[in-house]
Amino acid sequence: MLPVFDVVLAAAILVSAALALWVRDRIAAVSGFLVTGLLVSLSWLRLGAPDVALAEAAIGAGLTGALLLRSAHRIPCAPSKALPPSLWCAAGALAIAISGAIVWTVTSFGAAPVYPSLVADNLPESGAQNPVTAVLLNFRAWDTLLEIAVLFVALTVVIMVAPARPRTAPLGPLVQPFARVLLPLTVLIGGHLLWQGGHAPGGAFQAGAVLAGGAIALGLSGVIGSKLTRQNGLALLAIAGLAIFALAALAAEVLTGALLGYPAGEAKTWIIAIESALTLSIAATLFLLFFGPAERH
């Protein structure tokens, strides 16, 4: 029965991806993208990677989809002029070559990954029972810090380019009650994901994305929109994540002599503190990526 489910899932991913690529209407194409993202996150679950599934659902499908929908209104329909056949052939040949290389490499024998055993051996000292959190916030926390810097740069670029703010008027009378119900739920789920990240799938990125989702719903309903984003406070909260993470990394070096080396026995406290700051900062960043910078007066 399960292979049937997997086959249907794989076929559905291909169909929705093709839909996203070939539909002329922008909104329909973005919807195709959203559905593809959700199906892909299901496939991550089937592959036994619930952390990736959560991240894909929250960020890959959810927020990226929201950002694309927000922009889709402003971009004219795809040109009806077809690509010249030579370009089609070249793109097809390139895609086949790359896919062939991947298939060949993946199906042929490789060395066993060194990480599972290393992570399992060092997990007790890492301050987290969830190996993914242990990798993200301890073993390879430097990668995560740089990823927070990527978010920071993305926000800076968006603020600089200053896209027009989305209009909230035509959304209908049900949005506000919906948002009022949704927001407390997202706070609850976000907090749960953050706390759960220590021992089960979850963590700052997923929690931040869920929080941002609730805030965006509230913003679209017009309750907080201009009131909250007009101040600089939200932008400061967004950049605080990078600053706090960097300062924590240096503080840890002062205490233990190793950059990002948390003091023995206190790793859990450090990780929770850093993750809490990151959750708020990520939520603020994603919210601002959607709504754009504060309006200038």
Contacts to other proteins by CB under 8 A: 98, 101-102, 104-106, 108, 110-115, 118-119, 122, 138-143, 146-147, 149-150, 152-154, 156-157, 159-161, 235-236, 239-240, 242-243, 246-247, 249-250, 252-254, 256, 258-262
Give min distance, CB of 156 to other proteins, in A. Answer: 5
Q: Supply the minimum distance, in Å, between the C-beta of residue 111 and other proteins.
A: 4
Give 124 or 173: the residue with its C-beta nearer to other proteins. 124
Least separation in angstroms between residue 5's CB and other proteins is: 26
Decide whether 183 or 244 has the Cβ nearer to other proteins: 244
- Nearer to other proteins by Cβ, of 161 and 174: the residue is 161
Picking from 297, 281, 295, 277, the residue whose alpha carbon sits closest to that of residue 235 is: 281
Closest distance of CB 249 from other proteins, Å: 6
DSSP H or E run through 110: none
Smallest distance from other proteins to CB 185, Å:
31
Spatial contact of 122 and 139, defined as CB atoms under 8 Å apart: yes
Q: Which is nearer to other proteins, 128 or 182 (CB)?
A: 128
Residue placing its CB nearer to other proteins in the complex, 88 or 115: 115
